[in-house]
């Protein structure tokens, strides 16, 4: 990759990442066409389209601003952009395969990849674990995206002084993502309803993979200090849990026109979320048996739930105070994330951009610039996620 002017990228990180991805994926698609035209048209082409047609490029932007906040400039800009593109391909893998596991028909306002493939070939359900031809094809599409992501990461970091430590972060991130997804599907299969398990899954599947690791990857490429890496890691984990909790609110209450998913999809799929776990615990504590019956009926009913059932579930989530608690949790976690960034001695302008990016991802309005806070204040009905190692999230 030719020399990159970081100030030019700063103006519109997402747009520059789009161009990097388009060039990278154009080369991969050409290679696939040389290998086999059918494979290229049906599988490789779908991975390319899925990656380029949608998404907010949050993880690539976090990688970039993590690098910039850590003082990185022209020397590591090209590597950071390449790694940013690789992160987006990991996200493609995660989303395509997540839709297969959940049986989700829609992604980003369009048919999910497995649905699109079944529609193309008019294939019906079959007695195999993947369900249909489309399900099997989508699993392979996700695998291809992950292979391309690894290739892109290796190419981007080749020759970088930070290649070895960056590779260690990359390896951890991939394993954490898979572990978090497994806990998610395991909870659905076993009807695990604990808030502690929901938090553990959220940390592994989202906080680390979606926020902390992209931030730390960017900062690692900038060859920053251990203390700066630790501060960015803590800030990323706190904001990452906030992002997951906000995503759960959107999954339960969000507008399909904005989320690209059916309203209440998390409820319909019986997915273990902190939001629902808190509602259950509060209903149990209050002796609200009717509320528990509503939640039991909705969770995991798969097709037998009506719009009225979802509406009643929304009432229970509000009546139990679960939605209000999660909203408060999101705000508090983001505030603590900003505090961690403010005291880390990072580049001020880049840190301010990073704060605004994190707040936007969590559905919060633009906030204060990163400055040391007067104090975090007392705990109020929230989980203390700060400094909590993965092994302690039980």
8-12, 132-136, 385-389 — most confident range:
8-12
Is 160 within 8 Å of 76 (Cβ atoms)? Answer: yes
Angstrom distance (rounded) from CA 254 to CA 264: 8
Q: Residue ranges per domain, the chain?
A: 6-392
- What string of H, E and C letters represents the secondary structure of 130-142? CCCHHHHHHHHHH
Residue 78: both structure tokens together: 């090209």
106 secondary structure, DSSP code:
E
- Range among 146-155, 304-313, 338-347 with highest mean pLDDT value: 146-155
Helices within 287-383 (DSSP H only) = 289-298, 307-319, 322-342, 348-361
Q: Which of 152, 148, 162 is nearest to 218 (CA)?
A: 162
pTM of the model: 0.86
Residue 126's pLDDT band, with cuts at 50, 70 and 90, is: low
Of the ranges 128-132, 156-160, 199-203, 385-389, which is most confident?
156-160
Q: Is the pLDDT of residue 308 over 90?
A: no
Least confident span in 46-50, 238-242, 299-303: 299-303
Between 277 and 288, where is the model more confident?
Answer: 288
- Range with the poorest average pLDDT among 24-38, 61-75, 360-374: 360-374
The CA distance from 22 to 244, in Å, is 28
Grouping H, G, I as helix, E, B as strand and the rest as coil, residue 107 is: strand
DSSP class of residue 365 equals P
Dump pLDDT digits (tens) for 179-222: 988 988 888 778 777 778 878 887 887 899 999 999 999 999 99
Q: What is the pLDDT of residue 378?
A: 33
From residue 58, give the alpha-carbon distance in Å to each of 91, 276, 358.
10, 26, 9
* pLDDT exceeds cutoff 70 at 376: no
Are 192 and 40 within 8 A, CB to CB? Answer: no
Burial per residue of 103-123, b for 16 or more beta-carbon CB atoms within 10 angstroms, e otherwise: ebebbeeebbbbbbbbeeeeb
Of the listed ranges 93-107, 114-128, 212-226, the least confidently predicted one is 114-128
Q: Which CATH entry fits the domain spanning 6-392: 1.10.287.70, 1.10.600.10, 3.20.20.70, 3.30.365.10?
A: 1.10.600.10
Dist. CA 326–CA 154, nearest whole Å? 39
**Spatial separation of the C-alpha atoms in residues 103 and 99, rounded to whole Å:** 6
Average pLDDT score over residue span 357-368: 87
3-state secondary structure of 110: strand
Q: Please state, for a pLDDT cut of 70, what percent of the chain lies above it.
A: 87
Q: Are residues 47 and 117 in contact, defined by beta-carbon separation less than 8 angstroms?
A: no
- Higher-confidence residue of 177 and 305: namely 177
- Residue-level pLDDT at 374: 33
Residue 381: pLDDT band with limits 50, 70, 90:
very low
Are the beta carbons of 348 and 373 closer than 8 angstroms?
A: no
């Amino acid at each position: 990759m030719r020399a990159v002017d970081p100030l030019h990228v700063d103006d519109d990180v997402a747009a520059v990442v789009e161009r990097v991805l388009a060039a990278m994926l154009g080369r991969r698609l050409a290679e696939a066409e040389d290998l086999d035209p059918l494979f290229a048209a049906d599988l490789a082409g779908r991975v390319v389209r899925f990656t380029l047609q949608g998404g907010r490029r949050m993880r690539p932007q976090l990688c970039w601003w993590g690098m910039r906040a850590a003082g990185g400039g022209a020397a590591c800009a090209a590597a950071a952009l390449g790694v940013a593109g690789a992160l987006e391909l990991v996200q493609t893998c995660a989303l395509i395969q997540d839709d297969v596991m959940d049986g989700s028909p829609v992604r980003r306002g369009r048919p999910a990849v497995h649905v699109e493939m079944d529609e193309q070939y008019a294939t019906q359900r079959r007695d195999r674990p993947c369900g249909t031809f489309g399900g099997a094809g989508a699993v392979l599409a996700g695998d291809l995206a992950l292979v391309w992501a690894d290739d892109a990461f290796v190419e981007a970091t080749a020759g970088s002084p930070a290649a070895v430590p960056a590779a260690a972060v990359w390896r951890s991130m991939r394993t954490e993502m898979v572990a978090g997804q497994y806990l998610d599907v395991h909870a659905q299969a076993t009807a695990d309803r604990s808030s502690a398990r929901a938090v553990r899954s959220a940390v592994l599947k989202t906080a680390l993979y979606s926020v902390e690791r992209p931030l730390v990857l960017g900062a690692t490429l900038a060859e920053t200090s251990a203390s700066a890496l630790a501060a960015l890691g803590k800030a990323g984990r706190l904001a990452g849990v906030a992002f997951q909790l906000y995503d759960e609110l959107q999954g339960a209450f969000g507008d399909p026109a904005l989320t690209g998913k059916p309203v209440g999809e998390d409820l319909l799929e019986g997915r273990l979320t902190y939001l629902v776990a808190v509602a259950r615990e509060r209903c149990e504590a209050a002796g609200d048996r009717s509320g528990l019956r509503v939640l039991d009926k909705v969770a995991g009913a798969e097709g037998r739930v009506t719009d009225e059932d979802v509406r009643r579930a929304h009432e229970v989530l509000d009546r139990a105070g679960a939605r209000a608690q999660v909203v408060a949790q999101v705000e508090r976690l983001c505030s603590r994330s900003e505090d961690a960034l403010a005291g880390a001695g990072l580049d001020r302008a880049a840190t301010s951009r990073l704060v605004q990016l994190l707040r936007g991802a969590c559905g919060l309005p633009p906030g204060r610039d990163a400055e040391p806070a007067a104090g975090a204040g007392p705990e109020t009905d929230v989980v203390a996620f700060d400094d909590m190692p993965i092994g302690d999230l039980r």
